[in-house]
A and B are shown apart, each in its own frame.
Chain A
Amino acid sequence: MKKFYLMLVLLIGMAVLAACSSGDEEASEGSGSEGSSDVDSITIWAWDPAFNIAALEKAKEAYDGDGEYEVDVIENAQDDIIQKLNTGLSSGTTNGMPNIVLIEDYRAQSFLQAYPDAFHPLTDVINSDDFAEYKIATTSFEDEQYGLPFDSGVAALYVRTDYLEEAGYTVEDVTNITWDEYIEIGKDVKEATGKNMLTLDPNDLAPVRMMIQTNGSWYVDEDGSTPNLADNESLEKAFETYKKMMDADIAKIVSDWSQFVGAFNSGDVASVPTGNWITPSVKQAADQSGNWAVVPMPRLDMEGAVNASNLGGSSWYVLNVDGKEQAADFMLNTFGSNPDLYQTLVKEIGALGTYSPAAEGDAYAVEDEFFGGQQLITDLSAWTDEIPAVNYGLHTYAIEDILVTGMQDYLNGAELTTVLENVQGQAEAQLK
């Protein structure tokens, strides 16, 4: 009897202890990688919540394919994206890489060339003919289409009609003009109104870039890597024009974006020659409604130059990681083939794409009261088609860094040919 009780006690004790210790054993289920490259969600990296991120959200809403995956949009600063991409791709790991990434056109070639295998070609996915020609040059590499062209960087001249009027000019007088004519008008405007014609940031040669592209030229040769600075007639002309503007004292010098925006929002300048993406910023100053007009970008006073140029703009790239098929499917279904999406983007975000079929939509024909009833989007779309295609190559910003210093030397009295030979030498040495 006693033994029985003892056994009973032991048994119960063991049962209690066993019950208490259970629960630790819940082994983590091994989530082994799936054999297929399909994934449950695709990740997209982009910058600018008001523009690119907003466009992505619209695209997500517009998606009507039958792919079953989540789309995660992650916002990063552009510099961060560049840095992370470079770090990730150069180490050869796809860990932590997104499926889709937005890359600025100026930088696209350097990525495509440095990491050709890291990107998934879209040649057979999208129809290149549907997009603005100049974008195709920057987003393709060695006959393969890699990028899906997104926003247009079509440049335009935003002018204050009231200031022009005060100086005795009309909108027609600034339409399809050369930069030289622009400077003359600028002098008159400053004389009449005391306002500068434009803002210039000595550390940003965007005007120079826009100028040389009107003549189909760039900092590098067609091959995309050889610096094309000395003996580049367009660049020489652009430098001369730039110096003329400075000498004429019609430019307000700024040092950053907020000062740049602040200048035209506060009515300090009479015109803004820049990419069309500035439209929302211009419209911020609602009290200036009706006093603005948008005309084609002035051209260099040279044979063959056109009144159309580009500044900025970016495109979507699919990375060669698991889920690339889904990412390509998402891109094709939205930005690659949906004209309605572009209508939405124009109407709600003011983002102008480069998808030609979209131009026939109603939204593009809308008259903009802020710009005196101008059919702004239609006009911009038309100019987009005229932008001379250039190969931005690999080194746009590296060369520009060198050029900025060269420009200062030139402005302060150095000989232009010497300056350009200098920067050519530096660029060749640095980019070898």
Chain B
Amino acid sequence: MKMKKKAFLVLRNNSLFIKMFLIMVISIVAVSLLITFSSIRMSSNLFMDTFSISNTEALEQIENQFEDYSFAIVGATNEVQNNGTIKKVLTQEDQNAVETSKSYHDMSRQIERIYPTVESYEANMIVLGNNERLYNVNYSNWPVSWEVLRNHPITQYTINRPNTLLYQFLPSTSFNDEPIIVATKALMERSTGEIYGVLYFPIREAQLKEFYQGYTSMENEVLLVDATGKIISSNNEEMIGEEAPDVLALAKRVDDEQLEFKDVTVFGTDYMLMSQYLPTYNMYLVNLVDKGAVLNNLINTKEILLISLGIVLLAVIVVFIISRRMTNSISRLVKQISTMAKHDFNVPVAETGGYEAKKIANAFNSMLSELQEYVDLVVLAQQKQRSAELMALQHQINPHFIYNTLASVKFMIQQGKKEKATDMIHALISLLQNALSNVDQTITVEQEITDLKNYVLINQSRYGDGIKVNFFISPDCLDCQLPKLILQPFIENAFFHAFNEKKEGFVQILVSQKGDNLMCEIVDNGDGMEIKGDHTKEDIKEKRHLFSGIGIRNVHERIQLLHGEQYGVEITSKKGEGTKIRVELPLQKTDAPVESNKITST
């Protein structure tokens, strides 16, 4: 659970980095993947295009080879057809041995003359006559007897199409161990239309293969497909003799549509198929290129992938380092800012990290200090406003107070209590003097006590001595400073409200040092009161017949405003027992000038 929380915290703290890093990594990988694959694809396509062009040319060359062979066959065929000796020998009926011998000899001379045309192709030449005559130039290439050949299907087929030179395929059989391709032509007497023999040009498939062998490889196969879809020659031995009508159909399409090449799937492999029609053979020359194998040889996909993998890794490392550095400074900044509230906005953030982070921290700090200035200004303004208010209140010395006091003085003079009147006038003068001076000024405890005594004197002179006032001032406190008129309102309050039911009592004023604080207590044994709620303010009723406009409520606020919240006024009271007011102030000696609660700023 703790681990989870920790992990979550780490995640949250690094969320900017993680986001940035992830996006970068994904983009890098995506870009390099796309580029890699598109370049592989482009180069493959380019290669295949070039390949198809060169293969098409190769096909044309092969076609030329086939045409040359076909041309040689046609030449030899024409010679045989036009040869009177051969015709005579093939049409002769039974003779004696000498005549037969001569026929055979004559015929062999003719054929020896004609044979070289096709000999260079290592093709055989066989002449079959109806009269049991058979001339086989190179019997090792298809050793066949007259009976077998006469009744052979290819002979029948040829006789049925006497005007056409046909190329027929013979698979390997017991008497010829290799597949052969036989060009056949019926020998026909033109005038009568009688067929007097058949001419054969068997060529081993292996020899035919020579025509294109040089252009082939494992991945680049050449097939010769006849009109029935049978593969009669191929550099791939296994295919020879197979029926492949699908290849034939595709080859027809490629040739008909004049396509450069076509991507096909035959024999379970993907091939690029090129095709060329051999009209004299009525066959299709098909070139199958195994794209996958060719490209495997050409493009080292593994190497390209490795390179891009390396680049991606490098980029990721670089991105990691850089973004780590960038986000780290920002994260630090964010952390500092988020803890700002704890420091009252007065601790500036550290200006470290990258350029951007420094700028941000700098801006933030200057914003912060400006904010401080404004806050100071606002506080100052409020203080001024408060002072002005106090001043105004202070200046509103109740005229009744002065009127009543002066009236009392008049009675005293009338009664001839001249000295007493003088004291009273004296007290009033000093009271007014202090009261009307700047309210912000602090005075010593001694002065304040003097004022209070004057005030008490005036009041006692007017209302009698029912209320006794005692001062207990610790001597070490006499030179302590305190704001003006702090204690006067409480005395006034005691005089006018604490003794409404009881007519006599006493008020005791104690000033002492308590730790670092100045403790002033005003205790009376008057009526007391019920205290509800906040006992510092609301329940002390304001009366208009005050000495000045400063009420009890203001005292607390003034103290707190001047010295902070730990200071202030505390009132405890009980009905019938009296009221006890404690005023706590900081201890300030005379020589130390009073400072307002200034906000430290940098």
A residues neighboring B (CB under 8 Å): 5, 9, 12-13, 16-17, 19-20, 77, 200-203, 245-247, 249-251, 253, 255-259, 262, 404-405, 408, 411-412
Contact = CB atoms under 8 A, between A and B. Distances in A.
B107 to A, nearest CB: 8
A13 B314 contact: yes
A256 B135 contact: yes
11 contacts: A9-B314, A12-B310, A13-B311, A17-B307, A200-B101, A201-B104, A246-B98, A256-B134, A408-B105, A411-B102, A412-B102
A361 to B, nearest CB: 33
Interface in B420-479: none
Given A20-B307, A203-B108, A258-B139, A253 B318 contact: no
Given A12-B310, A203-B104, 18 more contacts: A5-B318, A9-B318, A12-B314, A16-B307, A16-B314, A20-B307, A77-B140, A247-B98, A249-B96, A250-B97, A253-B104, A255-B104, A255-B108, A256-B136, A257-B139, A258-B143, A405-B109, A408-B106
A5 B139 CA distance: 81
Contacts of B96: 249
B278 interface: no
Contacts of B317: 9, 12
Nearest to B136: A256
A246 B105 contact: no
Given A246-B97, A255-B135, A256-B139, A202 B314 contact: no
Given A202-B102, A253-B104, A408-B105, A258 B145 contact: yes
A404 B106 CA distance: 11
A408 to B, nearest CB: 5
Interface of B: 96-98, 100-102, 104-109, 133-136, 139-140, 143-146, 303, 306-307, 310-311, 314, 317-318, 321
Contacts of B135: 255-256
A408 B108 CA distance: 12
A253 B102 CA distance: 10
Contacts of A13: 310-311, 314
Question: Which 5 pairs from chain A and chain B are nearest by CB?
Answer: A16-B310, A202-B101, A258-B143, A253-B100, A202-B105
A258 B303 CA distance: 61
Nearest to B101: A202
B139 A408 contact: no
Given A9-B318, A255-B135, A20 B306 contact: yes
Contacts of B306: 16, 19-20
A253 B103 CA distance: 10
- Tell me what chain A mostly uses at the interface: helix, strand, loop, or mixed: helix
A294 B134 CA distance: 30
Contacts of A249: 96-97
A259 B310 contact: no
Contacts of A404: 105
A262 B135 CA distance: 14
Give the most central of B109, B140, B146: most A CB within 10 Å: B140
Contacts of B311: 13, 16
Most buried by A among B98, B136, B146, B321: B98
Contact of B144 (A17, A247, A258): A258
Nearest to A47: B140
A249 B144 CA distance: 26
Contact of A20 (B104, B303, B321): B303
Contacts of A19: 306
B159 to A, nearest CB: 22
B97 A200 contact: yes
Nearest to A242: B101
A259 B140 contact: no
Contact of A258 (B101, B109, B136): B136
A250 B98 CA distance: 11
B310 A202 contact: no
A355 to B, nearest CB: 28
B115 to A, nearest CB: 13
A405 B110 CA distance: 13
B293 to A, nearest CB: 20
A16 B143 CA distance: 65
Contacts of B321: 5
B98 A262 contact: no
A311 B576 CA distance: 167
A19 B310 CA distance: 11
Given A202-B104, A202-B105, A258-B139, A412 B98 contact: yes
